[in-house]
Structure 1
Amino acid sequence: MKGDRGKNSIIVISLVFLMIVMGLTFGGRERISRFENFIGQSLIPVQKTFNTMTGLLESLVSPVINIWDNEKRIAELERDNASLREALVSSALEANEYEELKELRGIFDYLPASSTSLVTEARVVSKDPGNWYNMFVIDKGYADGVKKNSVVISGRGLLGLVYEVSDNFAKVVAIIDHKNSVGIKIADSNRDYEGIVDGGIDGSLKGSFFDPSAKVYPGDLIITSGKGLYQEGILIGTVSEVFKDRNELLVTFTVEPLADFRKLNRVLVLPAKPDMGEVR
């Protein structure tokens, strides 16, 4: 106990001494006393050492603190970037969905009136290997009213024909497949020629008119003629190049499909023509 009292006395005396020195030092006089000068000179090295140690400690600690701050900022930026990416992806998907729906709605402007009430919407769920959708599968089948020879279209134009049906899915052969042929004509009542287009190997279509005097030009819009398996008036594509047969027995040309056969998602299924439908 006595030892503690002695220590406490020393602490109290030291505090009083420091207060006296501080009071003398900050008195605001023009000249300090020799005693104050002695005390000040004695404290300067201590203050310098203290300031040096404080600066050194700050220089050591600051980078660590900065690293923590930077890591925190980086984590926040990554979270913000992730949120932005999700928002952009969501926005892009919504935009694609909107465009697809807009295109599908536009189909009804050129579909035969008798077909619009029986249209079935479907999605493409798989395709054959390769870059082109020569053959693909949709998620609607016999239970949804889809039958063999039902016509499949996108928001841009004709896609193909159903050739095999299950209860809940159906297989489609595209017009760009070499096994498919479509009866065609030019979307111009003043040039009433009949012909066909066949699938090629590069996603394009090869067309021909039986009339050797047929006037066909690049940019002409080609539609279905109504002869064969497809209803009349469905958009197919535009003429990209015209060739003359050496024997001038027919006019041949290439057609660029309006539908994108490298990217298919939403499609519409039209009922098969009355004389072409097939009962299960």
Structure 2
Amino acid sequence: MAVSEKTCKIVWAEAGGRCAICRGEVVTPGTDCDDPSVFGEEAHIVARSKGGPRAGDLDDASRHSRTNLLLLCSRHHKQIDDQPAHFTVERLREIKEWHAAWVRRLLDDSVSGDVRLVPDPAFPQPRVLELITRGNPLWNMIKTSVTFEYALPDGLPDDEDSSIVEFLDLLRDYLDIAPELYSVRDNRDAEKSLQEHIRELVEQDFLVGAYVRHMLYVDGHGAPMAWPMLRVEVLPTSAAVVTDRTGRPYAAEQGEEQLAEE
């Protein structure tokens, strides 16, 4: 039994014609003498053969249903089959759900008025920013987040403004590619890059603060989805106030001791 033409169309439509991992378009434009090139592939979440990656006990109808298929580019289709220990059935189902929600958010104008982010009641909402002095804590926040917001001062000299913007652009880039970095070396290199930018900002008398706010993505289709949001602020050292986790300011001496401990 093969995947039906109707099922293929549904899978492509739900994915918006984009790879569920990299979100790149899987059809290239045609030329004046050639048709468009198609490199999108319907990948099985539970393997279609008993000896394949992520093999499971599904009947033929379920194995080739749209719920067991996700659209990937050829590169990521090969990757998930080569790395089944990382791309488990549960992880691929989560990737499919996240991607479908992303497509709906961008393309479904009919429910645009209903789309919103609301605080997740299962998590306490942060009240203060965590002072970021190393790359590792910030990288861990990036890896757990799916969206990003930021704040930076106005009226800065061009060189300082450029340094902060470069740092924030780096964060956005890392947020996009973090799910694809698996090796310890890749993750460590990312941490070092972040730490170098943080160090440069500190040398210019800026502090970096961040937290992850746990939100729910609500779009009127099914159950709300977890949508962790990373917030990063870059502040002049003179404007920062050291507090405890409840937001209560430390005395000057107490604040210095706290920073020394961290």
Q: Say yes or no: TM over 0.5.
A: no
Question: Greater share of helix residues, 1 or 2?
Answer: 2
Higher relative contact order (CA 8 A, sep 6+): 2
Tell me the TM-score range normalised by the shorter chain. under 0.3
- The structure where strand makes up a greater share of residues is 1
